[in-house]
Each structure stands twice: as structure tokens, then as C-alpha cells.
Structure 1
Amino acid sequence: MNAAQLRTTALGFLGTFAILGVLLYFVGVEEVVRELRKADPQVVALVVVATLGWLAAWGFGLRTVLHVLGSDISLAKSFFVLNGAMFSNNVTPFGQAGGEPVTALLISKVADTEYERGLAAIASVDSLNFVPSIVLSLSGAAFYATQTPFTRQLRVATTAILVLSVAVPILGFFGWRNRAVVRRTVARLLAPVLRRLSKFVPADIGLSRAKIDARIREFFTSIERVAADRKALGLTLAASTAGWVLQMVALWLAFVAIGSSVPFSVLLFVVPVGAIAGVTPLPGGAGGIEAVLVGLLSSLPAAGVSWGTAFTAVVLFRAAIYWVPVVIGGSVVSIVGIDSV
């Protein structure tokens, strides 16, 4: 990690600590400490188990996509590569958008494939993970709406999901239909930038426009291969859905650990909405995700929990969801040796 990346990450973590500090101030330290003392260690351990299940499910999805692209890796390797991907997402700003280039490099090294295929694989997995999150959140919102009045918070969150569910596919459709234009435009703009950078960076990154165009074409070809394999799409979507459900189970167990509970239908809605906060310019969305989760859980009548209870459960949940892949993935990245992290 170079000096600029280190400064950006450090500032991101400072922002995260600031948000969590503000939340803790409003919730009250005493209440959070009181709730944490009630936590059942055995149930907390089950939160970690559910987290590992989520990572294994999404790792299987990554393995399935890589198989389509001609790179066969074991389930164990796919699990560790997925953790490496989550690590890079969690330590770079803007979550997945910031970590995907590093993840692609990790995949290319472990799976012994081209960088473009690695990027296509993780981009495909991330795109497919988006589908179940929208379906589950809208299903949860619809069920929740039948049980209680549609509150302002629920309307705002549901509107955000609906906007995303429409905007993202439309942007993706137009980008794909005009991929030749996108390819040529990126190659034209990127070639002179890389040529200048090659004078200062001790690596051969001075690619010509033709080479950049060819690599972007390979990326789109790989995406097309994944989209054409219906069996692989079905398996990856099933694995993605299982991963989302296991995240919800982990949050439900976090509440159980402190002697509380929330309806699972609420978590169907809350967990995917919280994940949207991962696009904030914070490492892995940390801070933003917690704020959204606590705000929703404490304001939705069906959840029936206080700010302190919601904050404590979210802390236990996010401690597992965030730090388990950071520890495992950080070890993977260190062993593989990716200098650009």
C-alpha cells in the first residue's frame, strides 16, 4: 500500500470512528455496556459460524463463475479468494468499487488466469449478488407493510431500493448495448494517462490504445460467457441468496445473544438496505452501514427494540461480518503477496 492509499484509508477509518462515536454518544455508553454484558458467548460464536457460512456460499458462487471462464479452483481456494476480495473491499474507500481492481489481481494470481478474466469474474459475482438483495428487501418490505402502517422511514428506504432496482439495470443495459463505444472511449482516455504514469512508476504500465482496447474486449467477452451459461447463473444466484440469508441469520443471532429478538421479515428488509451504505467513501462502508442498520432497527415499529439494543446487536453482527473476512482475507493477501493493496 503506497503513501497515498495509506492516507486515504487512514482518513476513511477516522470517518468511521467518528460516525460510530456519534452513534455511541446518542445511544449511551452505559446502556451499550449493560447490553454487551448480557451477551451469551455461545450464541455470539454462532454469529461467527453464520458469517463463515455466508463467506463459503459466496465463495462457491465465485468458483462457479471462474469455472465458466475456464479457471477451475477448489472450494477451499474459492473460499480464501472470496475472503481476500472482502478484505480488499473492507480496507478501501467506496467498498466494492474501490476493492475490485485488487480483487481481480488476487484472482488472477490464485486461479492462474488473465487479469481481465479475474475482473470479469468478481464483477459478475458482485452484479449477481445485487439481484437477490433487491428481491429479498422488496419481499421483506411488502410483508412488513401488511403487518404495520407504512412509516416514513420505511417509505424512504423502499423508495431507495426501487430506484436502485430500476436505475442499475437500465445503466447496465445501455452500457452493454454500447460496449464498443465504451471500450474505445476508455482506451482513448486511458492510454495517455498510463503512458505518463509509466515514467514515474517502476512497472511496465505504458499500454498502447490497441492493447487496452483488446483487454477491455476480453473483459466484455468473459462477461458474455458468464451471462450465456444459465446453469452457472442459477447456481451463483442460489449461492448469493443463501449468503444473504445467512447474513440475516447472523444479525438475528446477534439479537438473540443479548436476550432480544426481531421478526425475520424485518431483517429481510434491513440487511440489504444497510448494504447500500457500502458505497459511502469509507473503508468497506463501515460506519455508514452501522448507522443505517441502527436507524432502521430502532425506528421500525415491528422491530420493537431500543437504540441501545439495536446498536449492541449491530456491533456484534458487524464485528463478525467485517472482521472475520478482514482477518482471513488479510492473511491470504499477505501470503499471495499483492504489492498493490
Structure 2
Amino acid sequence: MRRLLRVVLGFALALLAVGGFLWIVGPRQVLAELAGVEPVTYAAGFLAVVAAFYCWSEALRRLLAGVDGDAGGEVGGPRYRAAFMSGEFAKQVVPMGHSGGPVFVSYAVSRETDAPYEAALAAATVVELVNIGASMALAGAGLGIVLLTSDGPITPLFAALLVGFAVAVVALGGAALLVYSRRALVERLVLRAAGVGRATVGRFSARARDALEPGRVAATFGTYYAAFDRALADRTQVRRAAVFSILGWALFLAPMYTSFRAIGEPVPYALVCFVVPVLSLVNVVPLPGGLGGFEVALAAVVVALVGLELPAATAGVFLYRLSNYWFVVLLGGLATAWVSARVADAPGPLAPTSEPDGSSAESTADSK
């Protein structure tokens, strides 16, 4: 119940922030820009989002097949895709949910398939690292194209984005190196965090106290890293996952390009590739999906770097977030409802049970 209240409060604050931003810009001017939307161009962005999540789910499926060979053949189909989207739904609606993305996705996938949770978490962690690398690669490529094709001087805002990009690359690279090579340190940090949880939450919950017991946490840690190593050992699958990840990011960024083109204010795709990943990484607003802060920052960047009027930039960002965020929430919510309501294994016909006299219960019932 408390988690649900936090989600509802987060969305309320986020929508209030978005509404305040629209009010400042001018609702009539924004609506005037939205009135001229070209539907076919705009619809292409929704199809690109569906294709993007298919690519990302395929990247995870291929790595999971290498981590847990016995379960790998069972992972796939609508059941798996829905479970993946269910995990993505949790990422989008929980405040700061992207920080726990692999946990949400791996839990949903392990619950709906035959994949063990530790194997799913290890594969999801590798995919998350690959996804971050893919987004940074696209951002770097977009930055290179923008610098090569730009004739004007570097503005202070663009310089700030460059600094943010550099800081993000260093920080993420350091975190990945820490997870991969300093495992003893990571284990000590995990055990200390578990100790804090055991001393606080464990006082009120026997289940949490047992789950955070040092021996159990250490065993889970070892199982996780064993699966993590198996995922990285299959270089072929890692390379294929990287291809699917890059393709997924390229598709996921397309809605911003199609949204602005749909209102007749095209934004260079290279600039999209650079700006969106950087803003996504440096956005620290603790609200679902970064709502409010991300829209304001993106509109400001478009105004400063592209030269659009603020109402046009706001309209384009609104259309972009409708296809890039709210559509994902809709798909994830439907997937979550489906996997929650679905009967996992329907029971077969009941076999007749024998009565003491040797007759079956079925025949006895019939005789009555």
C-alpha cells in the first residue's frame, strides 16, 4: 500500500509540474501547434517504440539462453515478451525506477518463465550495461555528426551538455569496472547494506531478517556472479545482444524525430541521438520517468540549439513523451494485467478417486 501511495503521489507531482510548465508556455499556443500534426508521420514513432522494446527483449532472451541453458529454450513467445514489458512498466512508474531496472525485469521474467531469478538478474544486468554502452555510442556518434556539420560557435548550453556527457561516460565506465573487477569490494558493500537492512527492517519482519542473513546473502552473491560470468563468457551472444541493443536505442529515439517532423519543425536526428541519452542520464528528478524535469530540460535544449519558438518546442516534446513514455506505460500496464490475470498452468481433468469399496467417486456421484 505504501509503495502504491508513493507511485500515485509521484505521478501527481509530475503531472502538476508538467501542467505548470504548459501553463507558463501558454496552452493556446501549444494547442495551435498540435492542431497541425501529420498523423502518419507521428504514428511511425509508436511503431518504432514497439520495435525498440522487441529488440531489447530479444537481447535479454539471447543472453539468458547462454546463462541458463536448460531454461533458455523455454524463454520466448508472448509469455516472455509480456513479462519483459511488465518489468519495464515497473521501471517507468516507480520513482527512480530506472536505477532498479534489472531487478524489476528479472523478477518479472523469472516469475513468468522457467528462468531462475539469479540467472535472469545476471543477464538483465549485462543487458543494462550493454544498453548504457549502446546509448553512449549513439550519443558519441550524434555528437560527432553535429560538430562536423555545425558552422556556429559552441554555446554555453551545448558545452554543458558536453560536460554532462563526459561525466556520464566516466561515471558509468567506473561503475561497470567496479562491478566487473572489484567483486570483493562489491560483496563487502552488499553485506554491509544487508546488515543495515537486517538491523532496521529485520526488527519488524522475520522474513526480511532471514533473507538478509549474511550466509544467505553471500551465497546469493556467489550464485549471481557465477551467472554473470556465464553471460559474459558467451561472446557471440554478447555481440548479438549489443547489436539488438543499438538497434533498439536507434528505434527508441525515433519518436522525437517523428514528433517534431509531424508538426513541421524537424530536428536533426544526430542531435536527437546526442541530446536525449545525455539528458536521460543526468536527469535526477525523483519522479516517475523523470516527468516534469525531463520535459522542461528537453524543450529548453531544443529552443537553444535548434532555434524553435518555445510553444513549438513544447508541442514537439509533448508529442514525443506521449509516444515515448505514456505509450510505454500503457503497453506495460496491459502486459502486467495480462500476466497477473493469466492462469499459468490450467489443471487437467480430475482423475477418479477410489472409494473404500473399490468403486470410483465419479461413479458413486453418478449413482446418487
SS of the residue corresponding to residue 308 of structure 2 reads coil
- Matched AA of 1:234: R
CA distance in 2, matches of 1:129, 1:235: 12
Three-state SS of the structure 1 residue aligned to 2:190 is: helix
The 1:195–1:121 alpha-carbon spacing in structure 2 relative to 1, beyond 3 Å, is: farther
Match of 1:93 in 2: 95
Counterparts of 2:284 and 2:235 in 1: how far apart (Å)?
Answer: 29
Q: Take 2:254 and 2:7, find their aligned partners in 1: how far apart are those partners?
A: 30
- Counterpart CA distance in 2 for 1:65 and 1:155 is 37
Comparing 236-245 with 19-28, greater Cα deviation is found at 19-28
Counterpart residue identity of residue 88, structure 1: A
Question: Equivalent residue of 1:337, what SS?
Answer: helix
Structure 1 residue aligned with 2:119: 117
Q: Give 2:349's aligned residue.
A: none
Identity among equivalent positions (%) equals: 27
More displaced stretch, 328-337 vs 283-292: 328-337
How many residues were matched structurally? 334
Could you say if the C-alpha distance between residues 188 and 256 of structure 1 is closer, same or farther in structure 2, counting changes exceeding 3 Å? closer
Letter aligned with residue 246 of structure 2: T
8 Å Cα contact 1:277/1:292 also seen in 2: no
Q: Which amino acid in the other structure matches residue 288 of structure 2?
A: P
Distance 2:311 2:221 in 1: 49
Residue of structure 1 equivalent to 2:182 = 178
C-alpha deviation, 1:106, in angstroms: 0.6
User: CA offsets, 1:77-111, max 9 Å, x none?
Assistant: 44323322220111111131144433221111122
Structure 2 residue aligned with 1:326: 329
1:246 aligns with 2:251: yes
Query: CA contact under 8 A between 1:247 and 1:271: conserved in structure 2?
Result: no
Task: Tell me the C-alpha RMSD between the 2 structures.
Answer: 2.3
Which deviates the most, 256-265 or 84-93?
A: 256-265
Unpaired segments ≥5 residues, structure 2: 342-368
After TM superposition, give the deviation of residue 53 of structure 1 in Å: 1.2
Determine whether 1:158 maps to 2:162: yes
SS of alignment partner, residue 38 of structure 1: coil
* Structure 1 equivalent of residue 354 of structure 2: none
Shift of 1:184: 4.0
Q: 1:181-192 alignment to 2 at 5 Å?
A: 181-191=185-195
Structure 1 residue ranges without an equivalent (≥5):
none
Partner Cα distance (2:112, 2:131) in 1? 22
Distance 1:78 1:271 in 2: 28
The C-alpha deviation readout for 1:137-180, integer Å capped at 9, x for no partner, is 12222221231321111110111111111122123213432212
* 1:1-341 aligned within 5 A: 2-3=1-2, 5-70=3-68, 71-72=71-72, 73-146=75-148, 147=150, 148-191=152-195, 193-194=197-198, 197=201, 200-201=204-205, 203=207, 206-207=210-211, 208-277=213-282, 279-300=284-305, 303-337=306-340
Letter in 1 for 2:130: L
Distance 1:77 1:61 in 2: 16
1:177-224: per-residue Cα shift (whole Å, max 9, x none)? 221232244235415734764664485761321111010111122222
CA distance in 2, matches of 1:144, 1:29: 32
CA distance in 2, matches of 1:58, 1:273: 19
The whole-number CA distance in structure 2 between the counterparts of 1:156 and 1:85 is: 33
Q: Residue 348 of structure 2 corresponds to which residue in structure 1? A: none
User: Cα 1:138–1:324, aligned 2, differ >3 Å: closer, same or farther?
Assistant: same
For normalisation by structure 1, the TM-score amounts to 0.89
Amino acid in structure 2 at the alignment position of 1:154: F
Q: Is the 8 A contact 1:277 1:289 kept in 2?
A: no
CA shift digits 1:35-64 (9 cap, x unpaired): 111112222222211111111111111111
Larger Cα-atom Rg: 2
Q: Are 1:12 and 1:93, in contact at CA under 8 Å, matched by a contact in 2?
A: yes
Residue 206 of structure 1 aligns to a residue whose secondary structure is helix
Moved more, 287-296 or 148-157: 287-296
Where 1:305 maps in the other structure, the secondary structure is coil
Displacement, 1:259? 2.0
Cα distance 1:250–1:78, how it changes in 2: closer, same or farther (>3 A)?
Answer: farther
Specify the alignment match of 2:359 in structure 1. none
Deviates more, 1:319-328 or 1:85-94: 319-328
Contact conserved, 2:85 with 2:331, CA < 8 A, in 1? Answer: yes
Check whether the contact 1:58–1:82 (CA below 8 A) recurs between aligned residues.
Answer: no
